[in-house]
Structure 1
Amino acid sequence: MTDQSHDWAARFSDRMARVRASEIRELLKLLDQPDILSFAGGIPDPGLFPAEEIQKGYQAVLADPVLSRQALQYSVSEGYLPLRQWIAERMTRNGMPCEPHNIMLTAGSQQALDLIGKLFISPGDPVVVARPTYLGALQAFNGYEPAYRDLPDGALAAPEAVDLPSGALGYFVPDFANPTGVSLTLAEREALLAMADRLDMTLVEDAAYRELRFIGEPTPTLLSLDIARSGGVDNARTMFLGTLSKTLSPALRIGWVCGPKAVIEKLVLLKQGADLHVSTINQMVAHRAVSEGYDQHLHRLRGAYGHKARVMLAALDKTMPKGVTWSHPEGGMFVWIDLPEGIDGAELLARAIAEERVAFVPGAPFFAEVQRANAIRLSYSLPTDDQIEEGVQRLARLIGRVMAEA
């Protein structure tokens, strides 16, 4: 019998050489090991999901003969109109006046990144990102073969001097960024827009964590500042990505893009070719869930995540050896730790799992153009207070040993 197996790797497109497994997704498997204290996955606390309201939403939709037929049927690619209206009204109240036709619903904001990459990136096109940046965005864009350019350190202090290609796509997370937890100041946002104007840059504003501010007052979004400068959303150079995954439930897979109508129309065509539309029943249930009590729900989330952040920061202050520094987030789910030179985050992770049974995400994969290994990301969203304190103590103990061995 002849061997008829195929060399599948030889048949894949060239772009697959840039598509790699996510270290974060692989690390999520560690959550199945009960003795691992994990700071790895930046995922919401399931105890905060509004499960009862979501259950009631499904029951109400399916119990109604008219709504149930609509909910279980194909739908328009733009998304469920009442939910797009709710989003447009909320964004308008938050300084980003827009209409439902400026919004397309996506399967989480992750799909929005993929569709934006497909629309704007040809092989070799420049894509400007922060140092570090969201790994999921790099994964979404990689298949379209961009030429990444890191935003130079200090660039927003002197945007007029930044040397970057004109016409690039720029991707940024201005609020409580994944992975650092750091936000751009108002001055930095204005500088970023000034630089984008000078370099004719198209901006993608990923606002996945914006609603999770637990300290201080909100800073205007890039899109709101852009609209004020340009005179309207259809004249703006910024696309705003929102999501209900971090606030309502990731499993509903509800995200959105808000931008100029001309851009949304093209994204709708790409959405049609990808999956036609987001689950209709999920859109309808999400709309019911956010229509009543959403701000009270956000208040609860902010209180819970703010408390966990304070517990982690206090534990870091108490236990980390000198020479280790970290971010102080005012929202979101992450703390970024800078390690002394010579300590590799990936090597530290291997030892952390073997010696201390604690997990985190190494920092190097979050860098697009030039990697830096001596950093790690911790998430405080999922573990309990006791787990945070114990896990940080274990991690500090290991880092102390590694520093002593150097």
Structure 2
Amino acid sequence: MGPIDLTEQLGRWSAGRGPLYVLLAARLRRLINDGGLPPGTPLPPDRALASVLSVGRNTVVAAYDLLHQEGRIVRRQGSGTRVAGSASAAAHDVTSAPVFLHLLEPRDGVILLACAAPDSPPPELVEAYERVLPELAATTGDIGYHPSGHVTLRRAITEHYERRGVPTEPDQILVTNGAQQALSLLARAFVRPGDHVLVEAPTYPGALEAFRDEAAVPRPLPVGLCGFEAAVREHRPTLAYSIPSFHNPTGAVLSPLSRRRLAETAAAADVPLIDDEVLIDLGFPGEETPPPLAAYADTVISVGSLSKIVWGGLRIGWVRAPAPVITRLARLRAVHDLGGDILAQLAAADLLPRLGALRRRWAEQREARHDHLLAQLARHLPDWDAPPVRGGQTLWVRLPYGDGTSFAQAAIRHRVAVLPGGGLDVSGQSGAYVRIHFLAPVDELSEAVRRLAEAWRTYSPPARRVTSPAAMAV
């Protein structure tokens, strides 16, 4: 594809706020994500595209560099720039996120340790559906469109926060189709092209994708958003995002004092702060459920979900925020989605106050599998650095040499999928890491470690580091 064809597809790429390279990267990213630029498509040389767009070459170079860091394009000396994901690119050990393709295709015998979520609905969920069927059958005078969420579930989530000591009203709750939709709505509401968003490094890559889709510039801080106040002065962010409870991917838990300091500092700086609480119920036995950041500042935006404590197939998430924010989000959602599944919302409302037994059973099971995975890694891969965690779903493992991206490619050839760390860290400091979940049954974890050990024995890192993609993972 030549530069003239590409500029026709780009359209009014420069419409918006922010540096030109960010706007250009945003439009190219959208074309790649939507299939307008399929895998393997050659992109124009820097100078050619700059000439056609009437911008400086540095603008094109910076846009290409940003997309290269995200793993969306491949740049090679002598062979030009292409959209990532072609067969030829894969043959040169440039990943197009093969570990995630298995979410869309048959497993083919691959053990998936990259995507962390329960693999079957618990009996409590089935029972909840059975209990609410009469309520659904008795429904009249309701067309079923509720962009803010069904009032029954909004009230149940309100009571859920009240039980945790956070006064809440139903108009502070928006129900979403999972936490990912919540993050996408928040990004759309608060971010404009070129805006800065403070994120932890590493962090949940789905959040990075949501911010990048709005052409934000993620600014990394250590886990816990350490250095928040100085970063606010330097970057003037429009949004901040944190996972203070059983952090994805490290498992870290922010102390109550640090939570208070972060929430109060964000409120004083007038920076909207997202508290991702998706993992908050995943502490091991004996671990107390951490307080939400909203307990320290009512301006905090809390995002919750039932996907990790119940089942990912129950597409129920929510946002708790000041009422004006909820109104704004509901209007955005109504344009694209008139509301979620009513039966699922009624079941979720029934289930929320009954989660205690499920939480305890699931905590014991996850702790046993966590301990088993650590023991297997210590036995078969003793050089790997795999610190234990107090809850959550994942281990954040540092490899003794090489990089996570090229090793993930070696692992997939041995039919086990792990998540390379580079795509979770916009600072570029996690290339030597992989994320591995411990939710699988113990016999499957044992077999996975055996395959990882075999992959490690044959692993030879590339001469130069391979850039890890900022691919979607959950």
Which AA in structure 2 matches 1:258? R
Cα distance in 1, alignment partners of residues 334 and 444 from structure 2? 44
Q: Does the C-alpha gap of structure 1 residues 59 and 9 become closer, same or farther in structure 2, counting only changes over 3 Å?
A: farther
Partner of residue 416, structure 2: 358
Task: Say if 2:303 and 2:317, in contact at 8 Å, map to a contact too.
Answer: yes
Tell me what 2:366 maps to.
305
CA offsets per residue over residues 136-191 of structure 1, 9 Å max, x none? 111122221101100157962x6555564224311111112222222222333234
Is 2:251–2:391's contact at 8 Å kept on the other side of the alignment? yes
With over 3 angstroms needed to count, the CA separation of the structure-2 counterparts of 1:60 and 1:327, relative to structure 1, is farther
Contact 2:111 2:417 in 1 (8 A): yes
Which runs of structure 2 are paired with 1:146-165 in the superposition (5 Å)? 146-152=216-222, 156=226, 161-162=230-231, 164-165=234-235
- 8 Å Cα contact 1:131-1:150 kept in structure 2: yes
Within-5 A mapping of 1:222-301: 222-226=293-297, 233=298, 236=299, 238-291=300-353, 293-301=354-362
Q: How many Å apart are 1:296 and its aligned residue?
A: 1.4
- Distance of 1:148 and 1:374 partners within structure 2: 21
Aligned to 2:453: 396
Distance 1:176 1:269 in 2: 32
The offset of 1:109, in angstroms, is: 1.1
Note the C-alpha offset of 1:79.
1.2
Pair 1:28-2:103 in alignment: yes
Letter in 2 for 1:33: D
Q: Distance in 1 between matches of 2:132 and 2:27?
A: 39
| Deviation (angstroms), 1:224 | 1.0
Identity %: 30
Code of the aligned partner of 1:84: R
What is the TM-score with the length of structure 2 in the denominator?
0.73
Distance in 2 between residues matched to 1:10 and 1:93, nearest whole Å: 52
Aligned position for 2:28: 17
The answer to whether the Cα contact below 8 Å between 2:160 and 2:352 also exists between their aligned partners in 1 is no
Match of 1:53 in 2: 127
Give the Cα–Cα distance (whole angstroms) in 2 for the partners of residues 394 and 402 of structure 1: 12
Instruction: Find the counterpart in structure 2 of residue 3 from structure 1.
Output: none
From 186, 211, 228, the counterpart of 1:116: 186
Structure 1 runs not aligned, ≥5 long: 1-5, 227-232
C-alpha distance in 2 between matches for 1:159 and 1:275: 34
Q: Would the alpha carbon gap of residues 8 and 244 (structure 1) be closer, same or farther in structure 2, given more than 3 Å must change?
A: farther
Does the aligned pair in 1 maintain the 2:416–2:451 contact within 8 Å?
A: yes
Q: Does 1:317 align with 2:378?
A: yes
Quote the RMSD (CA, aligned, Å). Answer: 2.9
Query: Among residues 204, 216, 234, which one is paired with 1:134 in the alignment?
Result: 204
Letter in 2 for 1:222: L
Deviation at 1:314, TM superposition (A): 2.0
Q: 2:415 matched to 1:344?
A: no
Alignment gaps of 5+ in structure 2:
14-25, 34-95, 464-474
Q: For the residues of structure 2 that align with 1:159 and 1:56, how far apart are their CA atoms?
A: 47
Say which structure is richer in helix.
1
| CA separation of 1:153 and 1:112: change in aligned 2, threshold 3 A | closer
Q: Distance in 1 between matches of 2:275 and 2:325?
A: 14
The answer to whether 1:334 aligns with 2:384 is no
Aligned length: 381
Larger relative contact order (CA 8 Å, sep ≥ 6): 1
